[in-house]
Amino acid sequence: MTLAGARTWDALVIGAGPAGARAAQQLSAAGASTLLLEKQSLPRYKACGGGVPARTLLLLDDLDIAPVSEGHVDTIDVSRFGQPQFRKKSERPLAWMVMRDRFDQFLTDLAAESGASVRDATTVQSIVEEDAFYEVETSTGAVRARHVLAADGTTGLTARWLGIDSAPTRSAAYEVEIAAPRDALDHWHQAANVDVGYRPWGYGWVFPKEGKLSVGVVTAPKRGRTIRKQTDCYLSRLGLADADVLHVQGHPIRYRRSIREPVARGRALLLGDAAGLADEFTAEGIAYAVHSANLAADAVLDSNNPAAVYTESINQHIQPELNAARTISRLYYWCVTTWPWLALRTSKHINYLWRAFFRVMRGDSTYVDELARLPQSGLATAVLSGH
């Protein structure tokens, strides 16, 4: 490395997804010199349903995402292996629909407007920790920074380079974007399909966008080899097998299950997917990515011991939600695969469960609070302890 006399950044952020872009914006807005590096050319495609839970906007200080929104969803349409079951409607939007290239570029532009330097097509290749800073080799030259915020996603290598064991892969997801016919777009207008019955757990989804649909399946990693076939079957059952495919991509998802899985060390912090901050009920991670970015920026700006402060914040504010989502996931997927008709009839008629889910999506409540309200039946206890 040739760093003699080189600038030392207050913070180097790796990865321009929602976690990295938001962290760079928060840090630079507070006056920290911040460099945001992204290995791909921006705007970049990201395999994702592009459903931004409404609560995410609260974490983004009520950001108006209208310039990049492709509509919203307020209705959940439940099916089992493509067979329609019932629909449930929320009185307010549950999620905003985005294409991730535009949404992530929007957040990255906000970071740049706040003063962050953004370099795309720049891959971080190695990191060495020195006493007071990190020396970082990239594909466009060496960089030095006091703090490293690794927001490099589920397949990022920063955690490994820094000796921070991050969460293991626990699900596979596969997404197809199709140019859908008019009648399908009308059918899914403001409605998301959730297709259940997948073993050992998982679901299929249809999310509506402008002129297209995002269709995909998320399931256990051991089903990863057949996930493409499952998605094709799902498309056939929806009558969409002949639609023009615009994009296809599979991607792993990791879930942090325990406070023993580290998220930081020294002045290096893992954010979003890099730390396994996605939930096991819906497999969504955008809200957690943004939330972790807020917490990471606070820890860097306010503390001499960012690793300890950040770890404590994650354990206090995010991990309980991930744990509660996992508990709900076990109960729900066990019921829906063991007694599908009973589970579907029950969930069709018990509106309380839907209202609870909608409150969580909108940010009016949390999984922790909703789980605490559920009656502790012997069945639930048996399922949760034995499954």
Residues in CB range of 242: below 8 A, 6 or more apart: none
| Three-state SS at 153 | coil
- Tell me whether residue 156 or residue 306 sits nearer to ligand FAD (CB atom): 156
The one among 209, 251, 267, 330 contacting ligand FAD by CB under 6 A: 251
Name the residue type at position 286. Answer: I
Among 19, 32, 54, 196, binds ligand FAD (CB under 6 A): 19
Closest residue to ligand FAD, judged by C-beta, is 285
148 binds ligand FAD (CB under 6 A): no
Q: Which residues contact 108 (CB under 8 A, 6 or more apart)?
A: 16, 21, 24, 36, 38, 42, 118
Interface stretch with ligand FAD, choices 47-55, 81-89, 235-243, 319-327 (CB under 6 A): 47-55
For the bound state, the minimum distance from the C-beta of residue 279 to ligand FAD, rounded and expressed in Å, comes to 9
Structure tokens at 140: 């466009």
Residue owning tokens 């559920």:
374
- Counting Cα atoms < 13 Å in the Cβ hemisphere of 173 gives 25
Please report, as residue ranges, which positions from 162 to 221 form the binding site for ligand FAD (by CB under 6 A): 173, 175, 216
Tokens of 343: 């589970």
Whether the Cβ atoms of residue 134 and residue 37 lie closer than 8 Å to each other: no
Whichever of 174 and 332 has its CB closer to ligand FAD, that residue is 174
Closest alpha carbon to 102 in 209, 245, 218, 217: 209
Least distance to ligand FAD from the beta carbon of 303, Å?
Answer: 22
∠106-109-115 over CA atoms, to 5°?
150
With CB under 6 A as the contact rule, the residue among 35, 118, 143, 278 that binds ligand FAD is 278
In the complex with ligand FAD, the residue whose CB is nearer, 98 or 335, is: 98
User: What three-state secondary structure class fits 6?
Assistant: coil
43 binds ligand FAD (CB under 6 A): no
Q: Does 321 bind ligand FAD (CB under 6 A)?
A: no
* Region from 5-13, 37-45, 299-307, 334-342 binding ligand FAD, contact rule CB under 6 A: 37-45
289 binds ligand FAD (CB under 6 A): yes
Sign of CA dihedral 187, 249, 264, 202: positive
Q: How many CB atoms lie within 10 A of CB 278?
A: 27
Q: State the CB neighbour count (10 A cutoff) for residue 293.
A: 30
Q: Which is nearer to ligand FAD, 173 or 331 (CB)?
A: 173
* Helix or strand run (H / E) with residue 326: helix 319-338
Binding mask 216-235 for ligand FAD (x = CB under 6 A): x-------------------
By the rule CB under 6 A, 153 interacts with ligand FAD: yes
Number of residues engaging ligand FAD in binding (CB under 6 A): 38
Residues that bind ligand FAD (CB under 6 A): 14-20, 37-40, 44, 46-51, 123-124, 151-153, 156, 173, 175, 216, 251, 253, 271-274, 278, 284-286, 289
